[in-house]
Amino acid sequence: MMPLTLLAPGNVATVRKVGGLEDTKRFLENLGFTEGAEVTAVSTMNGNMIVKIRDARVAINMDMAKKIMV
């Protein structure tokens, strides 16, 4: 397992665990980051990460991305 921040653009991984406080977990789950979901890294810029998850593109900051283990 590794944090989502280490996933190189274009690579696909499966979400293994979502960490953080309860509010953070709920926020990320509402965006689609649930265990078993496939996530694709699109790009990283200005401290944000753009990923594709469940047929949607989502931008999250690096602090949030560190809480998602793939």
The pTM score is: 0.90
Its domain, for residue 49, covers 4-69
pLDDT in tens, 22-32: 999 999 999 99
pLDDT in tens, 4-56: 999 999 999 999 999 999 999 999 999 999 999 999 999 999 989 999 999 99
Q: What is the CATH number of the domain that holds 63?
A: 2.30.30.90
Using the structure block, give the residue that is written with the tokens 């283990």: 69
Q: Which residues contact 34 (CB under 8 A, 6 or more apart)?
A: 15, 18
**What total number of domains does the chain contain?**
1
Say what the pLDDT of residue 24 is.
Answer: 92
Give the type of residue at 42: V
Say what the pLDDT of residue 1 is.
Answer: 92
The answer to whether the beta carbons of residues 13 and 38 sit under 8 Å apart is yes
Bridge partners, 56 (sequence order) = 53
Bridge partners, 39 (sequence order) = 13, 53
For residue 15 the two structure tokens come to 């979400």
